Amino acid sequence: MIHVRRAAPADTRAMAELLNAIIEKGGTTALSETVSAELLSDWMAGDGVRGAWHVAEDEGGALLGFQWIGPRDDLPTDACDIATFVKPGQTQLGIGSQLFEATKSAARALGYEWINAAIRADNAGGLAYYQSRGFEDWKRPGNVSLINGKTANQVFKRYDLG
């Protein structure tokens, strides 16, 4: 059974470990350098009242994934950005679906009208995940600079909360 709840600063160590495993695997996130629990805690605090973080755990409390929404500088104020991270080897088990149900509710409560997902064009799993949630393509920026200085094409997908 999967349990979804709001993330707390105490979760950031496990979240960093999960995200670092994804970063080290490569190819699915714009992040290229490992993150620390402290950095994730700073990101959580920096989102203030316009962000929401959720974690998914198994029955024993082990972290299976997490999802974040928050403002993005190049989006209008009625839109938020989303990021989803599921433990390698645990995809396609409903973790992302359950996270998204909590995230949709949080986005509406925060006053957002739509959610943007910026996905690397070579991330087939991410593209399929957001498509299966009902996100639709709305923008395809090319050669976007990644954090490590490399570039990648991206697909922006939109989910209307109305």
How far is the CA of 142 from the CAs of 6, 57, 79, 156, 158, in angstroms?
A: 34, 36, 21, 11, 17
Instruction: Give CA–CA dist 87/149, Å, rounded.
Output: 26
Q: Is the pLDDT of residue 98 over 90?
A: yes
pLDDT at residue 26, rounded to an integer: 74
pLDDT 10s digits, 14-46: 999 999 999 988 766 767 789 999 999 999 998
Q: What is the token pair recorded at 92?
A: 């396609």
User: What's the average model confidence in pLDDT over 133-154?
Assistant: 81
Which pLDDT does position 47 carry in this prediction? 77
DSSP states of 117-131 as a string? EEEETT-HHHHHHHH
pLDDT at 104 over 80: yes
Span 61-91, pLDDT tens digits:
999 999 999 999 999 999 999 999 999 887 7
d(CA 35, CA 25): 14
Percent of the chain with pLDDT over 70: 93
Instruction: Decide which of 3.90.79.10, 3.40.50.300, 3.40.630.30, 3.20.80.10 is the CATH code for 3-160.
Output: 3.40.630.30
Higher-pLDDT residue of 141, 161: 161
* Spans of all domains in the chain: 3-160
Per-position DSSP letters for 15-73, written without gaps between them: HHHHHHHHHHH-SS-S--S---HHHHHHHHHHTGGG-EEEEEE-TT--EEEEEEEE--T
Q: How many residues does the chain have?
A: 162
Pull the structure tokens for residue 87: 């433990």
Whether pLDDT at 92 is above 80: no
